[in-house]
Structure 1
Amino acid sequence: MAESKEEVDVLVQRVVKDISSAFKRHPNIDEIGLIQCPEARYNRSPIVLVENKLGVESWCIKFLLPYVHNKLLLYRQRKHWLDREALVDITCTLLLLNPDFTTAWNVRKELLQCGALNPERDLYLSKLALTKFPKSPETWIHRRWVLQHILDQFSSVAQTTEQPVESEHPDAERTLLLSNHLNRLIHQEMKVCSDAACRYPSNYNAWSHRIWVLQHMAKGNIKVFHDELSSVHPWVSMHVSDHSGFHYRQFLLKELITELSRSSSSASTIFGSSQHWTSTVPSSSHLANGERSLAYSPSGERFATVLQLFYQETELCSDLIETFPGHETLWSHRRHVYYLWHQWTQDQHPCGDGRESELNLLGTNDPGDTRPTCAIHEGNVDRQRHVSVPMEVDGVSLPDCDSKRLRRGILLPNHLTLQNEHIFVNSILDSCCNPEQKNFALAYKKWLDTVISAQS
């Protein structure tokens, strides 16, 4: 093994070149990692590439990392000159080993601004770094900077384009291409965030980045937000203790309610077709259990769509609480959902007073009943029913065996009222033997009595 400084320099220079060559020969590398190897046993490169997975033998890290680190610091201190290609290679190697080194990301920002580096290439590098360090805050920060740089480029192009999209003008075609590119970027970011969240539990940085992407790249696009709400449904169902995922659903739900409450567009914005997005919601006017779809409600479509969102989220909470007892995250999420519902009903004032509205969901009224929802007889509130419809994930019903597993006799309320929440909690307390589940149910019941009752 090399011992002198000259031999070490020769070794690490070769390793840096091997890493750069690996990316040039195999542009589809999708994961990086360390190979535990205490010492070099063979006279070969420590860089291993197998099936698009790039590995670095651990014995060379103690030589490689200080070398590239010192090289970059000397460059920043203007004590050593490096050309652009060398800077790209050194920063790439350094960030794959230590992605929280801010100086390296700043150097790449400068290279990107002067046109020496492609933004897509930087997104690719940060994506690889996240496969090994999925919670790296500096990597997520730099990724947002690159995305904002791309958005600024889009904005400058849009300002110079006046022609409509349907026109055959070259500027219109360019605008359409940019729009498609933006859609691909959004899908790509959702995939990167999802992979990072799976690699590291409670990855707040990944979910915060996902929120940022929607706020800056899909603001006001109700269809995108609704698709996201559906796409994370399976994920939260398999990670019932990860609060970050449920916090993301709370953000989506709140944004959808806000947009639907102030938007003049109809519910077809969500359920209908879009120019760049394909709807996954069935177009039938009836659901699987014969209930009428809210998208075709004879009264206000936006109002009915909000009701459906609340109903589906409450149904998800009920399923998961019963199937996976003893998880505080599920009860916390239900509390937030019901609080949003409570605040929304008070803001709507459908009955002209501050009382909690007895709003009927998903066609539980007689289809021929044209009375206002608030005029429903109070006795209807107490009626309960077993919901036998399989839970839908992205529009696909689960098999019967999963349906039986997810539904074990819990009564789902027809109305999101305080009384029905008490009925749900009491059914949990009566049927559950898990002590933690009982404690969470009692805490939720106390919250309903002290907070919601006081505000009603």
Structure 2
Amino acid sequence: MMQDDPFPAAERILLEIDAVFRKDPKLKEFDIVPVTANHNKSPVLHVEHCLGLESWCVRHVYCYTYHRIMDARQLRSRREDPAMLARLLSGALLINPDVTTFWNMRRELLQAGRLDMQGELHFIAVLLSRKPKCTEAFAHRKWVVRRLLLAGADKDALLEEELQVSRYAADRYPNNYHAWSHRMWCLANLAPATSAILHKEWAASEAWVSSHVSDHSGMQYRQFLLDRLLELKHSVSEDIVDTGRKSIQQLLSHSQNEDNVDFVQSALIKSVGLIASELLLNTDLILRFAGHEALWCHRRYLLVSFKKILNCRTDMNGTGGCRYSSSICVTRSRCAEKLSEAVSSGHVNTENAPLERDQKLSSQELGALDRDLCHLQGAMMWHEAKLISGCQPDELHQQRLAKQHRKWLSHVLKLDVPAVA
């Protein structure tokens, strides 16, 4: 239990911290500096937009702020000066941001107009520099953003700021699930309906996961982006389509098919192309950075998505929200039969738009689509076999992960991956 520890200098320290936030709008970091002795000078350090608090005074300041805040909370008469209460809460949260009561009291001050909403976002950003995985801070940040939206704040400016903060937090702490979840929330609630931001994030996240190959939270964000791109009603950018087309052809060229495949139906280029390009990137990362389980887990997600696309072959609603069959191995006749049913009902469009009921694919087009799907399925199996065989025998952890992957392919996807010399 925390004992009462009067500290006369606490109020002065809190005033100095508050003054730093007021005079430096570019303040970006806060940390506790390991100094064990009091040298009769201010323990508050402010250098190059960075705020520090010497460690010798941390316990005393926190004890002081904690007891003052709890006293104010219990009185309920609101006799504590709001400005003073705000300083107490700032000091306490900078030291220990995991106390829900403190954040609730900050919300009360914000609702009463005693604190500025934009200033609160700045305070949280500085706090996250020291505690980048703080759940309470991200939850409070979402609350503030919602309030700003209700007040008519600029969505684009808010989105840009939130993306910067979440990226900074993710860089500061590995596997920062809370930062990446906040980023997903921002795209879902702040991003415009257009696909431009998704394309930008897709390109940026590729560079990020390529340099953080053990960070599965970052790869989960990439999976989120992939799902959103596949759900787009309108076309993705030409760059993504071209990359996807080249990736598909690269997969097919490595599958040792005797037939020369010159095209893939346009309905599949966006969906299969996106997944194929990500599979090739994932293959490159697995072979270059051996022994990282996060890469293999990400691959399994991609293969499940690939399987669903191949089995569905078409978007029943024009939105990416179709339902998939359970078997990966679809025969030529079943493929044509299922696609014919979809075309007859007027829900299939190779250009991602609903067909009129009097429009039907010809038997030649059905056969071409069926042929492409068979090639893609074979290419996927061949690619997995090449990857597993390409893992070096002297990399024991990589070999173990490859064996687990082969077992997963067999038991989950029901694929008997052939051995490749």
**Other-structure match for 1:231:** 204
CA 1:376/1:107 → structure 2, altered by over 3 Å: closer, same or farther? closer
Residue 320 of structure 2 corresponds to none
Letter in 2 for 1:222: S
Q: Counterpart in 1 of 2:326? A: none
Distance change in 2, residues 1:446/1:418 (3 Å): farther
Give me the whole-angstrom Cα distance separating, in 2, the residues matched to 1:245 and 1:322.
19
CA displacement at 1:18 relative to structure 2: 0.8
Give the partner amino acid of 1:440: L
**Which segment drifts farther, 299-308 or 113-122?**
299-308
- Residue 195 of structure 1 corresponds to 168
Does 2:334 align with 1:353?
A: yes
Paired residues, number: 359
**Distance in 2 of aligned mates of 1:246 and 1:47:** 39
Q: CA deviation at 1:252?
A: 1.3
Uncovered stretches (5+) of structure 1, i.e. residues with no partner:
155-177, 273-280, 292-297, 358-370, 383-414
How high is the TM-score relative to the length of structure 1?
Answer: 0.70
Q: CA deviation at 1:416?
A: 4.4
Shift of 1:95: 1.1
Letter of the 1:58 counterpart: S
Going from structure 1 to structure 2, the CA distance change for 1:303 and 1:376 (only over 3 Å counts) comes to closer
Q: Residues 30 and 52 of structure 2 are in contact (CA less than 8 Å); yes or no, is this contact kept in structure 1?
A: yes
1:286 & 1:35 partners in 2: Cα distance?
50
How far is the alpha carbon of 1:230 from its aligned partner? 1.4
C-alpha displacement of 1:285 = 11
1:271 partnered with 2:237: yes
The match for 2:354 is none
* 2:302 is the alignment partner of 1:305: no
Change (3 A) 1:137 1:57: same
1:421 matched to 2:388? The reply is no
Residues 287-345 of structure 1 show CA distances to partners (whole Å, capped at 9, x for unaligned) of 999x9xxxxxx998664322331122112111101111111111111110110121122
1:143 alignment partner in structure 2: 141
Report the residue type matching 1:226 in the other structure: H
Per the TM alignment, residue 28 of structure 1 is displaced from its structure 2 partner at its CA by 1.3
Determine the structure 1 residue equivalent to 2:343.
Answer: none
CA distance in 2, matches of 1:300, 1:322: 31
Deviation at 1:82, TM superposition (A): 1.7
1:417 is paired with a residue whose SS is helix
Q: Which residue of 1 aligns with 2:295?
A: 330
* C-alpha separation in 2, matches of 1:234 and 1:248: 13
Q: Secondary structure at the match of 1:432?
A: coil
Amino acid at match of 1:72: I
Distance in 1, matches of 2:311 and 2:241, equals 32
Aligned to 1:125: 123
- Aligned-residue CA RMSD in angstroms? 3.5
Whether the aligned pair in 2 keeps the contact of 1:422 and 1:445 (CA below 8 Å) is no
Q: Which runs of 5+ in 2 are unaligned?
A: 250-262, 316-331, 340-363, 417-421
Q: Structure 1 residue 81 and structure 2 residue 79: aligned?
A: yes
Could you tell me whether the CA contact under 8 Å between 1:326 and 1:437 is conserved in 2?
A: yes
- Aligned partner letter, 1:75: A
State the Cα distance separating 1:150 from its structure 2 match. Answer: 1.8
Change (3 A) 1:68 1:418: farther
Matches within 5 A, 1:69-108: 69-78=66-75, 81-108=79-106
Match of 1:411 in 2: none
Task: Tell me the residue number matched to 2:22.
Answer: 24
Deviations 1:33-83 (A, max 9, x none): 111111102x22110111111110011112100111111111111177222
Cα distance in structure 1, aligned partners of 2:382 and 2:367: 21
How far the C-alpha of 1:349 sits from its partner, in A, is: 5.1
State which drifts further: 441-450 or 425-434: 425-434
Partner residue in 1 for 2:404: 443
Specify the code of the residue in structure 1 equivalent to 2:403. L
